[in-house]
Amino acid sequence: MRFSSCLASIVWCALVVASAQAQDPFQVARERQLGPEEKPKAKDDPTKSKDSAKTKDSAKTKDEPEFVRKTDEEWRKILTRDQYWVTRQKGTEPAFSGKYATGHFRGTFYCVGCGSALFSSRHKIDSGTGWPSFWQPVGQKAVVFQADNSALEARVEVECRRCGAHLGHVFGDGPPPTGQRYCINSIALTLKAPDGAAATSAPARATAKTKTKARAKAKTSKSSTTKTSPAPTPDEGKTPEKP
């Protein structure tokens, strides 16, 4: 009798221990605190947020058409008379007449016709030709090139890849690392500055005028003492190169 009661006690203890090992007491306590339907929140995965941002950017890119094609009548309604003449009829604005010809800028230059990104202000150079110049576009697919034999000298025309707008010409006398100079009409561009930043700084034209006045004053004072006239500059009388 005593042996059977001891055996039953041992079996009961073994069953209690086995059930306790199979169940996590801390998990039971958490479930009691949170309730049967509530569960602990999972930690935010930073990779998921990056993937969602990439998905949004790709969706925006897909919404924009790869090419923009319009009739002449439609372009006339969108563009001003001068913009239409330059971008659609391959015209050239007068030297130093464009608002981006001289000066320092911050941001990206977009096509005035379709809004496609073309050039960055970081790649702008002061060529002194009278038209805004860049040593490279924002990307290889931003522009396309066409042979231009309309002038006495054969040139390479630069067009917006997306809408075919005439932008200007590219020459092989640019600075390193490309050695190219994209001579572009200001009227074919529109500048968008970074968020919270000014698009332009003090125009370089005002600085150039100040320097010219200072040089003229220095030459006048020098000629009054030495009684000699200054030599003409080698660029005098030259016609500026068209973009």
Residue 163 annotated to the active site: no
Query: Closest Cα to residue 242, out of 145, 166, 135, 140?
Result: 166
The tokens of 107 are what? 């941001």
What is the C-alpha R_g of the chain?
36
Identity of the amino acid at 39: K
- Would you say 188 and 165 are in contact if contact means Cβ atoms under 8 Å apart? yes
- Would you say 142 and 161 are in contact if contact means Cβ atoms under 8 Å apart? yes
Identity of the amino acid at 38: E
- Rounded Cα gap, residues 221 and 225, in angstroms: 7
Strands 143-148, 108-111: pairing is unpaired
- Rounded Cα gap, residues 186 and 239, in angstroms: 19
Residue 23 exposure: Cα atoms within 13 Å on the Cβ side: 11
Which residues neighbour 243 within 8 Å (Cβ) at sequence distance 6 or greater?
Answer: 92, 129, 131, 168, 169, 183, 184, 185
**Helix (H) and strand (E) counts for the chain?**
6, 9
Q: Choose, from 111, 160, 163, 183, the residue flagged as catalytic.
A: 183
- The residues that are catalytic are 183
